[in-house]
A and B are shown apart, each in its own frame.
Chain A
């Protein structure tokens, strides 16, 4: 457990030294969501209807932006190889790195989403559901994304390839995440969507670090 926390702490500290990288993803999220009303028109009814989808797709893409760096810098300076050789299980260290990625790339989106939701005329309870859905969904995005980041580690054209591999796997999260908010706006109960998101998160917490570890070992062979 100590190794896990140490990895999280280390990644957070490293990110604090390079603040711009974290801020890029956040700004990307803000800009993309603000572009949609400009492209579609300022009609409040329509914007309210498409808000959950837009916010979720933007969150998806913003998470994707930080993923190539998840293992790349550690791979270049040799830290990753040290991690593989270290006595503490690699899965635990990988889980720590994923958690750090979520804290840096996922959590800011969750915190910003209600503010951006205001731009789309969502009411307070819908904003609550949106935040809750993102809180459950963004860790899922980080976990699945880590598998793709490990698979494309050091591969040419890695960033684009990562998007091609990972985006189809993000579809369930997108459907249930955006669906929860849509259901709530339509006056239906959103708890079904949210519990499915939670179930997928539980599944991913269990399997994704393991698959990521396997992919990392392949990449480092």
Chain B
């Protein structure tokens, strides 16, 4: 452990913008991407659920 204080850690020896910019960009995109993938999955599921509901309603109408 070679950081003497929290401030020194965040200053990154004067490279704060670049180091935290890099790690921040990675963190940001790696949080956004799974979120988008998740949303795509839930959207696919909602569409399927709606289609199934429509099918069932069709069936009910035919039966009645």
Touching in the complex, A and B, CB below 8 A? no
Q: Enumerate chain A interface residues (CB-CB to B < 8 A).
A: none
Q: Enumerate chain B interface residues (CB-CB to A < 8 A).
A: none
